[in-house]
């Protein structure tokens, strides 16, 4: 097969989800409902944090950025997937495909960093409660969030630039529902050793360091709680960290399904299903996790609801 340069590759074909034609309508309605729940639920979190002054704390400042990242992360892939399911128009322009890949990597990395920052915030709150206000000052919070955005942007830009210098083969079919970096690299005819090296080294560092920060923070939190065993102290620690731990489990659990569980004969189908969970299900569950398990969020939601009733009279 002769290589074809990316300049002449005007579009790609996204094969989408492995769904039978007669089931397309049912799954379209399901994924549309999940996407709308993701957007509205995370927007509600941002609105509550914005309106309730009691939620103007470092933890909820980080949570508002995580909610915005989840909206953007889901919006990068789901609308195109829904459009393809409804219209059966599977093509995506070259520029749109590369842009989708860039923003997907960007928001995956941003979620990674924000979860690590939130774990550090919980560590300071539980292990150094007397110094919390001096350690987690406003300047540090802004710096941590700005650093997360900057390094995520640099990480995504590096992979995008490295991909743009390569030549694609004549085959433009992507066996996925979005432009995934690994799927695009399989369509390359030129040498991809540098790309694979960067994915293994730089990409591994950007995934491994935040995970180490999360594990380290919760190991210290666990040691602090168990150091002075008390039912009340344990319950308080679980109520403070339970929501974040559940989100971390969902986030890294689906990543493990894609990259660390040994592949079977149906590895492509498995990867697509795991990607659906990762891009559609996990962002949708975050608002429920943080609102149903969080007393402050439930209280703010109740106040907002009562205000709505009062103003509607």
Q: How far is CA 254 from CA 118, 271, 277, in A?
A: 19, 10, 7
- Whether the pTM exceeds 0.85: the reply is yes
CB of 140 closer than 8 Å to CB of 153: no
Q: In the structure, what pLDDT confidence band is assigned to residue 20 with cuts at 50, 70 and 90?
A: confident
DSSP track, 28-75: HHHHHHHHHHHHHHHHHHHHHHHH-GGG-SHHHHHHHHHHHHHHHHHH
Question: What's the pLDDT tens digit per position in 290-310?
Answer: 766 667 777 777 777 776 654
pLDDT recorded at residue 8: 54
Question: What's the pLDDT tens digit per position in 44-98?
Answer: 899 888 888 888 999 999 999 999 999 999 999 999 999 998 887 889 999 999 9
**Residues whose CB falls within 8 Å of the CB of residue 165, separated by 6 or more in sequence, listed in order:** none
Q: Find the DSSP H helices in 52-191.
A: 58-87, 94-127, 132-135, 138-164, 181-185
**How far is 274 from 294, CA to CA, in rounded Å?**
27
**How far is 279 from 282, CA to CA, in rounded Å?**
7
Question: What's the pLDDT tens digit per position in 196-244?
Answer: 899 888 877 888 889 899 989 888 888 887 776 666 666 666 666 777 7
Query: For residue 58, with 0-12 CB atoms within 10 Å meaning exposed, 13-18 middle and 19 or more buried, which class applies?
Result: buried
Q: What is the largest CA-CA distance in the chain?
A: 71
**How far is 114 from 117, CA to CA, in rounded Å?**
5
In the numeric block, which tokens belong to residue 21? 């034609």
- The pLDDT of residue 107 is above 90: yes
Question: What's the pLDDT tens digit per position in 116-142?
Answer: 999 999 899 888 888 899 999 999 999
**How far is 198 from 205, CA to CA, in rounded Å?**
10
Question: Phi and psi dihedrals of 101, rounded to 5?
Answer: -60, -45
Strand order through the sheet with 91-93: 91-93, 11-14, 173-174
DSSP for residue 262: P
Q: In the structure, what pLDDT confidence band is assigned to residue 4 with cuts at 50, 70 and 90?
A: very low
In the numeric block, which tokens belong to residue 140? 């540090």
């Amino acid at each position: 097969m002769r290589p074809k340069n990316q300049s002449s590759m005007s579009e790609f074909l996204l094969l989408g989800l492995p769904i039978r034609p007669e089931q397309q309508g049912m799954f379209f309605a399901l994924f549309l409902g999940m996407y709308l729940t993701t957007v509205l639920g995370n927007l509600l979190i941002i609105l509550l944090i914005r309106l309730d002054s009691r939620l103007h704390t470092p933890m909820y400042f980080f949570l508002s950025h995580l909610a915005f990242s989840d909206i953007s992360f889901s919006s990068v892939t789901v609308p195109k997937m829904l459009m393809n399911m409804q219209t059966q128009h599977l093509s995506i322009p070259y520029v749109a495909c590369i842009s989708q890949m860039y923003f997907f990597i960007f928001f995956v990395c941003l979620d990674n960093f924000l979860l690590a920052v939130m774990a550090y915030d919980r560590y300071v709150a539980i292990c150094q409660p007397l110094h919390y206000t001096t350690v987690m000052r406003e300047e540090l919070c802004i710096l941590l969030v700005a650093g997360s955005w900057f390094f995520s942007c640099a990480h995504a830009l590096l992979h995008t630039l490295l991909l743009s210098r390569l030549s694609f083969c004549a085959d433009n079919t992507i066996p996925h529902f979005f432009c995934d970096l690994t799927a695009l690299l399989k369509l390359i005819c030129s040498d991809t050793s540098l790309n694979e090296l960067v994915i293994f080294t730089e990409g591994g560092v950007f995934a491994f360091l935040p995970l180490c920060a999360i594990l380290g923070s919760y190991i210290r939190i666990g040691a602090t709680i168990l150091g002075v065993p008390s039912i009340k102290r344990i319950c308080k620690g679980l109520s403070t960290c339970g929501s974040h731990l559940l989100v971390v489990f969902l986030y890294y659990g689906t990543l493990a399904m894609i990259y660390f569980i040994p592949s079977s004969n149906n590895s492509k189908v498995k990867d697509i299903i795991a990607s659906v969970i990762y891009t559609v299900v996990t962002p949708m569950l975050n608002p429920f996790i943080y609102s149903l398990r969080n007393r402050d969020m439930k209280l703010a939601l109740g106040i907002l609801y009562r205000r709505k009733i009062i103003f509607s009279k």
